[in-house]
Structure 1
Amino acid sequence: MKAIYAIVSILTLSGCVATPSLSPKVEWISKTNIDEFTDKQTCSVTVGSLYSQNSVYTYNNHYYPYIDVVNGKARVGIRSGGKIKIPVGDVQIRIDSNKAWTISSSETPLDYVPEGTMSSIDAYAKNLPKQNQALLKDTYKTTMETAVKAMSPFTATTGNKAKNILREMLTGEVIKYRTIGLNQAASSTGEYKLGESLKTALKQCGVDIDQEA
């Protein structure tokens, strides 16, 4: 009887060891998101920490490289994962042995700034002399936008800089990245392989691979 139990135990352990090989490999995927209030459509290309047959998962307090395609234009950067999003701040990206790219939070595109705060400052500004009203509104708007970017759960760049980073990604093998602390390199680093899955996912988001490469 003990011998039978031993054989069953060995078979069970063998099955557990073999299971990971059946799991999907880490690769770049595309996902289309539609804002349920504005109907704005965004196609994202990214990676994750845990893959299943039908889903990919990210962890809280972890950062992931991504490409967003918004209105046909690409954004390249780093964003926080998990359900609880945290600010990203300035980041560095390096593809293979190429020179590292630094993306500042100030470059991050603004998708939404609470309008209520601007309404409050408008109510206050109307009590000031006219020559001071515009100055106050502009100063307050700039301050709010800076604060929103600094607290954003993603940091990204657009335009030619995004295109140049994307070109390196399409011809490179590995992307390394890290967040940057105040006057120091933070410990939040990561690394992912590039390759055919990236090209496939970008095509699914409508990016012209031949043109970018």
Structure 2
Amino acid sequence: MSFSSAPVSNFNKDIKVKYCLTLVSVFLLTSCATKPKVEWIASTDFDPFTDQTACSVTTGSLYTQSSVYTYTNHLYPFIEVVHGELRVGLKSGGKYKVPVGDIQLRIDKNKAWDISTNETPVETSVSAKDNPQVDVISEYTKNLPAEQRELVINSYKVAMNSTGKMFSPYTAATGDKAKAILKEMLKGNTLIYRTLGFSQVPNYGGGTTGEFMLNKSLQVALNKCQIKI
């Protein structure tokens, strides 16, 4: 009994064609799944309590084709304008925010910038309307002389404001200082930071320092947020 060799030859050709088509498909899928490069982005946040929308320029840890993600216990540089005020600094990422504390920023070989929690603006109110505890303090001090009563209430407000700054999930410079830092960033190549004091937030390698590249994407993101200096 004998077998023709022709069908075997055709079968081998079919296998080769299918194999080549598979390789082409894998290459195309891999190309389409390539992650975009890490760069600065414009991120919009909405506050459901104040109905205010803020556009912030920042970076992330995980980039996909449609989203950028940050990690808890990681810090990220940010630039934004709130109530007409420019802010430049570091903020905590992820779902669960942690206090940032005092920080230092340095662009290339320029002198490092010290940014403390004391100069950081906080979005909290200690008025009686927004904080019922103020009413409680007022009730306790109602029998005190007017001057002492005012002193106690003001001391409480200062303490609340100081605590808010200390445990703020971001630390930022404002005004002319923020503008000067941003100008250096736009001319620079690398931004490095480190945390100071009680804050020991790890980032990219388990230390208290971090590094971010400064490139054209920074200006593009600033334009999207309409942030100008």
Aligned residues: 202
SS at the partner of 2:208? strand
Equivalent in the alignment of 1:190:
210
Check 1:29–1:104 CA distance in 2 against 1; reply closer, same or farther (3 A cut). Answer: same
Q: CA deviation at 1:182?
A: 4.5
8 Å CA contact 2:102–2:199 kept in 1: the answer is no
Residue 70 (structure 1) aligned with residue 70 (structure 2): no
1:100 to 91, 102, 112: 112
CA distance in 2, matches of 1:158, 1:22: 38
Residue 176 (structure 1) aligned with residue 159 (structure 2): no
SS at the partner of 1:117? helix
Residue 206 (structure 1) aligned with residue 222 (structure 2): no
What per-residue deviation string (whole Å, max 9, x for no partner) do you get for residues 69-96 of structure 1?
1233310011111101000000110000
| One-letter amino acid matched to 1:26 | V
8 Å CA contact 1:113–1:148 kept in 2: the answer is no
SS at the partner of 2:196? strand
CA distance in 2, matches of 1:75, 1:102: 14
CA distance in 2, matches of 1:207, 1:151: 27
Q: Which moved more, 1:108-117 or 1:170-179?
A: 108-117
Residue 91 (structure 1) aligned with residue 103 (structure 2): yes
Q: CA deviation at 1:62?
A: 0.6
Q: CA deviation at 1:188?
A: 1.8
Question: Normalization by structure 1: what TM-score?
Answer: 0.85
Instruction: Note the aligned Cα RMSD (angstroms).
Output: 2.8
Check 1:19–1:121 CA distance in 2 against 1; reply closer, same or farther (3 A cut). Answer: farther
| One-letter amino acid matched to 1:132 | Q
For the pair shown, the structure with the greater C-alpha radius of gyration is: 2
SS at the partner of 1:164? helix
Q: Which moved more, 1:161-170 or 1:111-120?
A: 111-120
8 Å CA contact 1:110–1:149 kept in 2: the answer is yes
1:117 to 129, 133, 137: 133
| One-letter amino acid matched to 1:78 | L
SS at the partner of 1:148? helix
SS at the partner of 1:112? coil
Q: Which moved more, 1:119-128 or 1:83-92?
A: 119-128
Q: CA deviation at 1:116?
A: 2.3
Q: CA deviation at 1:119?
A: 2.1
Q: Which runs of 5+ in 1 are unaligned?
A: none
8 Å CA contact 2:38–2:60 kept in 1: the answer is yes
The residue correspondences of 1:43-82 to structure 2 (distance < 5 A) are: 43-82=55-94
Equivalent in the alignment of 2:163:
147
8 Å CA contact 1:96–1:173 kept in 2: the answer is yes
8 Å CA contact 2:77–2:91 kept in 1: the answer is yes
Q: CA deviation at 1:121?
A: 1.4
Question: Normalization by structure 2: what TM-score?
Answer: 0.79
8 Å CA contact 1:88–1:153 kept in 2: the answer is yes
Q: CA deviation at 1:31?
A: 1.7
CA distance in 2, matches of 1:19, 1:72: 43
Q: Which runs of 4+ in 1 moved over 3 A?
A: 18-21, 182-187
CA distance in 1, matches of 2:199, 2:94: 27
| One-letter amino acid matched to 1:199 | Q
| One-letter amino acid matched to 1:142 | V
CA distance in 1, matches of 2:32, 2:112: 34
